[in-house]
Amino acid sequence: MQLTLWTYEGPSHIGAMRVATGMKGLHFVLHAPQGDTYADLLFTMIERRQERPPVTYTTFQARDLGTDTAEIFKTAARDAFERFQPRAMIVGSSCTAELLQDDPGGLARALALPVPVIPVELSAYSKKENWGAAETFYRLTRTLSGVRRERPQRERPLANLLGPTALGFRHRDDVLEITKLLNTLGVDVNVTAPMGATPDELTLLGEADFNVVLYPEIALPAAQYLEKAHGQPYTKTVPIGVGATRDFIAEVRALANLPEGAVLPESKLPWWSRSVDSTYLTGKRVFIFGDGTHVLAAERIAREEMGFDVVGLGTYSREFARDVRECAKRHNIEALITDDYLDVEAAISAAHPDLVLGTQMERHIAKRLRLPCTVISSPAHVQDFPARYAPQMGFEGANVIFDSWVHPLMMGLEEHLLGMFREDSEFHEGASHLGASSAPAPATPQRAVPAAAVSAAPAAAATPLDPQWSDEAARELKKIPFFVRGKARGNTEKYARERGLTTISVGTLYDAKAHYGR
């Protein structure tokens, strides 16, 4: 028994739903109790889908328990076939139905539907969402991709794009970006799957020369099967970040025997990162957590492309634990492999990062700890399924990443500065950049108050000792840039008070500056 409040991954049947919902012409009949339909709203709300997910739930109730549930399953499967006329169906059990003795695969076979019906064992009590997606996609690929065929020699090689699903973090735009990139390199895309593919298209998977694995969590078992069954090699580099995209291009060129020379788009990231405005990013302490793929990619970008210090690294994807541990060693830190958000919260608190890169969960943790944060991985909330084009992959993805990582830091700096200047007259309430207010700024309260207090409350012993600025020193103070003036004034007065000085001269000002340093 595991005490859980937040889960980074849903149950495995959610993974199967992500595959089914991404595809077209496939229907999923899920043996599940009343209530499990809550999962529909992940797709209709978070991803804002305009159709219901192609999922029929048997929604059995207590009164149905017994022999009845098998009959309910058969009725649901038959009705779903008749109503939706899918080209293929998948059938499986959610956690509760797994405890019953019904066998969706066998029951569906007995119906003898005129389309392929593929049973998926979801192992609800030991596996989770990404595993469910990978297993479902693997089963579909295995059943539908057919037997090995001779591939003709082509002028432009053909590749499959494997791994994008419904509810994937930026999957929609990653597919567009990588398709464009491959086309520019001289590669045509055969089938993109699961997202956007029909069961009929899956029968064509074997036609491609090689496979591009976009999201190993989901596509790796299918890609390994296709390598074995159809002799298709697959890409090992996930093209997130400029360096990884360049490596990916080299890998694709090697797999497809492509010559160098295609004119590729460039990313703005290298120049943005080298421009002097980015100097302050150097050595920023960053904490990275998410799924294995995005964490490994983010680590490389943080290190090679942004000049950050990685002070924390972890993943909830146990399948990637070894890679992430390996990666953490480079920074002399211990990788955090956990699906308990309390562990992540403790690690973030202890690491004192300047920036947190994580999931929706880390966004909330960072908010609580008042740290800047950007979401780089699922699970993500509705705002991370944006209307605008926002890939993570390829060169445009690198541009998006630069902006989205730096943005909260800029905001952080701005907030810090605003806090620091709050007492400055330039920032008094009602101050306007348009200069509309010609009225003089109100005298700063700490200077006005003591004067009034002297007569009103002579008992305030400290007041008469407050050091006074000489005219000359006051003029000198005004030469100090406004954004550090408040601090300089405070430090100088403190310095003078501590030494019992009644007058602040220009000398005192600079003595204080030397004393406090930066």
Partner 1 sequence: MNEAVPLRPSAPGALLVHHERGQREVFCGLAGIVWLHRKIQDAFFLVVGSRTCAHLLQSAAGVMIFAEPRFATAILEERDLAGIADINDELDGVVSRLLERRPDIKLLFLVGSCPSEVIKIDLVRAAYRLNRAHAPRARVVSYSGSGIETTFTEGEDACLAALAPDLPAEPATAAPSLLVVGALADVVEDQFAATFREIGIDARFLPARRADAMPAVGPNTKFILAQPFLAETARALELRGARRISAAYPLGCEGTTLWLKAAADAFDVPAARFDAAVAPGRARAEKSLARYKAQLSGKTIFFFPDSQLEIPLARFLARELDMQPIDVSTPYLHQQLLAEELALLPTETRLNEGSDVDRQLDRCRAARPDLTVCGLGLANPLESEGLATKWAIELLFTPIQGYDQAGDLAELFTRPLTRRSRLEV
Residues 466, 75: Cα–Cα separation, whole Å:
88
Interacting residues with partner 1 between 156 and 175 (CB under 8 A): none
What is the Cα–Cα distance from 409 to 167, expressed in whole angstroms? 28
Q: Which of 68, 79, 277, 343 is catalytic?
A: 277
Query: Should residue 13 be labelled a site residue for partner 1 when binding is judged by CB under 8 A?
Result: yes
> Using CB under 8 A, which of 25, 71, 78, 95 touches partner 1?
95
Q: How many residues can be counted in the chain?
A: 518
Instruction: Indicate whether 132 belongs to the interface with partner 1 (CB under 8 A).
Output: no
| Contacting residues for 494 by C-beta, under 8 A, at least 6 apart | 512
Least Å from the CB of residue 32 to partner 1: 8
The nearer residue to partner 1, 128 or 300, going by C-beta atoms, is 128
Least distance (Å) from partner 1 to the CB of residue 17? 12
Q: How far is CA 440 from CA 426, 436, 443, 468, 476, in A?
A: 11, 11, 8, 22, 20
Burial category of 419 from C-beta neighbours within 10 Å (exposed 0-12, middle 13-18, buried 19 and up): exposed
Retrieve residue 130's tokens.
């990404």
Hey, what are 118's tokens? Answer: 């593929």
Among 15, 27, 56, 193, binds partner 1 (CB under 8 A): 56
Quick check: 278 binds partner 1 (CB under 8 A)?
A: no
By the rule CB under 8 A, 70 interacts with partner 1? no
In the complex with partner 1, the residue whose CB is nearer, 180 or 364, is 364
Q: How many CB atoms lie within 10 A of CB 200?
A: 13
Give the up-direction half-sphere exposure of residue 241: CA atoms within 13 A in the CB hemisphere.
21
For residue 401 the two structure tokens come to: 């990443």
CA distances, 462 to each of 16, 450, 459, 483, 493 (Å)? 72, 10, 9, 29, 13
Q: Which is nearer to partner 1, 43 or 495 (CB)?
A: 43
Classified as helix, coil or strand, 246 is helix
- By beta-carbon proximity to partner 1, the closer residue of 79 and 343 is 79
Q: For partner 1, which is the closer residue by CB, 21 or 211?
A: 21
Q: Which of 18, 26, 90, 94 binds partner 1 (CB under 8 A)?
A: 94
**How far apart are CB 19 and partner 1 at their closest, in Å?**
17
Q: Look up 277 and say whether it is catalytic.
A: yes
Chosen residue from 26, 54, 60, 393 binding partner 1 by CB under 8 A: 60
Sign of CA dihedral 222, 228, 234, 236: positive
Phi/psi for 103 (5° steps) reads: -120, 95
Q: Which is nearer to partner 1, 95 or 453 (CB)?
A: 95
Q: Does the protein bind partner 1 through residue 57 (CB under 8 A)?
A: yes
Q: How would you class 31 by CB atoms within 10 Å of its CB: exposed for 0-12, middle for 13-18, buried for 19 or more?
A: buried
By the rule CB under 8 A, 61 interacts with partner 1 = yes
Min. distance of Cβ 164 from partner 1 in angstroms? 21
- Binding part of the chain for partner 1, among 38-46, 185-193, 205-213, 347-355 by CB under 8 A, reads 38-46
Contact window for partner 1 (CB under 8 A) among 48-56, 244-252, 272-280, 470-478: 48-56
Q: Residue from 24, 78, 96, 233 that binds partner 1 (CB under 8 A)?
A: 96
The 10 Å Cβ neighbour count of residue 51 is 8
Cα 378 to Cα 332: distance, rounded to the nearest angstrom: 26
Kindly list the residues in this chain that would bind partner 1 in the complex (CB under 8 A): 1-7, 9-11, 13-14, 33-42, 44-45, 48-52, 56-62, 64-65, 76, 79, 83, 94-96, 99-100, 124-126, 128, 364, 368, 381
Query: Which residues have a catalytic role annotated?
Result: 277
